[in-house]
With several copies, the nearest count.
Chain A
């Protein structure tokens, strides 16, 4: 099994690094280009949330991004050191109608990967897990 893990301080500049490295990791996986872009997008949403909402951009706090490729699926975990949260259901139709500038991150994750799970890890922080089935 392949595992890729990056830990980085909570600074928005890492969004570009995460993008570059995620692209590289996905590069050779048996997934078509469009699916790769969707995964990249879902990862960017989860990492943005961990940096901003979870760790409040406190550069002493770390975000940990882990890719595990198994036979049947790719699992991506994003761990922060924040207080966690209870995800609400938001409607993209409502957000569009109201011209909301925010609130589309989690719905985009859900649209772009096969499974999104949220788990609060006691005394550690939030874990968001994205799972993409492989053909």
Chain B
């Protein structure tokens, strides 16, 4: 599992690359948490290059989500292949994660739902 960090404005974008199974999950979890420093308030996990994910990989994403929520930050997941999307559906995790087609849609989503909109009120 290779993880690359980019920045889009004030949003941290992590690209995950490879298989997310129990052999890669511990390392992936550490890497993701390491790459998300305290200042990351908005985080996108782009899964476009995740070839495989199973319950172990979903566990990693949930653990990351909990950390991000505790830090009062926000997480979006993007670019799920049909297969990856299916496992989120079957496990009901579509109702837990904010899932977007791509990074742009995720950025719009952050705007729409966040305090940034509040300022307009």
Contacts and interface: CB of A to CB of B under 8 A. Distances in A.
Q: Classify A-B as touching or not with yes or no (CB < 8 A).
A: yes
Interface of A: 12-13, 15-16, 19, 34, 37-38, 40-41, 44-45, 48, 51-52, 92-93, 95-96, 99-105, 107-108, 111-112
Given A44-B54, A45-B55, 19 more contacts: A12-B23, A13-B23, A34-B86, A41-B54, A41-B87, A48-B21, A48-B54, A48-B55, A51-B22, A92-B90, A93-B92, A95-B91, A99-B62, A102-B55, A104-B55, A104-B59, A104-B91, A107-B90, A108-B90
Given A19-B52, A41-B87, A101-B62, A52 B92 contact: no
Given A44-B54, A96-B93, A102-B55, A37 B83 contact: yes
The dominant DSSP class at the B interface is: helix
B95 to A, nearest CB: 6
A49 to B, nearest CB: 10
20 contacts: A12-B23, A19-B19, A19-B21, A34-B83, A37-B52, A41-B52, A48-B21, A48-B56, A93-B92, A95-B91, A95-B92, A96-B92, A96-B93, A96-B96, A99-B65, A101-B59, A104-B55, A104-B91, A107-B90, A108-B90
A108 B54 contact: yes
A40 B52 contact: yes
Nearest to A103: B55
Given A99-B65, A99-B66, A48 B90 contact: no
Interface centre among B55, B63, B92 (most CB of A within 10 A): B55
A51 B90 CA distance: 24
Given A19-B52, A101-B62, A108 B87 contact: yes
Interface residues of B, number: 25
B62 A16 contact: no
Interface string B35-62: 0000000000000000010111011101
B82 interface: yes
Interface in B78-92: 82-83, 86-87, 90-92
B62 A111 contact: no
A44 to B, nearest CB: 5
B63 to A, nearest CB: 5
